[in-house]
Structure 1
């Protein structure tokens, strides 16, 4: 298992287009991937799950992956989040 945190640097938080990109990116990997925000942990491959987190701007997010491609998955997810503006 690998885990990494990142601070969201968007003006509006995680809104649907960003969530769609994250879910699509996570779905490319075999590993189980989760996002944690304010103590709530959901499957990153679930659009509804991520939407339910209601992530606002400047939020601290933790990504966790477990599986054969876990390191690559978390690194790519972090790069995706850092690309949001």
Structure 2
């Protein structure tokens, strides 16, 4: 099963918030990626995700793509966590 959702970077993502998102992904067996401009970054990998979030412009749109048995649950949890991110 492949599940995809999109979100816009309209909030500041601190190092702690990004690490919390990465930590959430570790609870799931699915392969989870964040996609930007056609490039997929493993959302369980710290360096790629940090670089992506810190270089992305505000308002840029990303997709979260998960593939595996718990993909739907993973995308739902990550979407909720990202939507609750405050500045």
Cα deviation 1:31-78 (Å, max 9, x = unaligned): 000001233310000111101212332221100000010000001111
Aligned counterpart, 2:23:
24
Cα deviation 1:8-30 (Å, max 9, x = unaligned): 331x3x33112101100111100
Give the paired residue count: 83
Aligned counterpart, 2:42:
43
- The 1-side partners of 2:37 and 2:44 are apart by 19
Tell me which stretches of 4 or more aligned residues in structure 1 moved more than 3 Å: none
Query: Where do 1:56-67 residues align within 5 Å?
Result: 56-67=57-68
**Structure 1 length as normaliser, TM-score?**
0.87
Say what the alpha-carbon RMSD is for the aligned residues. 1.3
Task: Decide whether the 8 Å contact of 1:37 with 1:55 is kept in 2.
Answer: no
Secondary structure of 2:4's match?
Answer: strand
**Structure 2 length as normaliser, TM-score?**
0.85
Aligned counterpart, 1:80:
81
Can you give the 5+ residue segments of structure 2 that lack an aligned partner in the other structure?
Answer: none
- The 2-side partners of 1:66 and 1:15 are apart by 27
Q: Measured at CA, do residues 33 and 49 of structure 1 come closer, stay the same or move farther in structure 2, by a change above 3 Å?
A: same
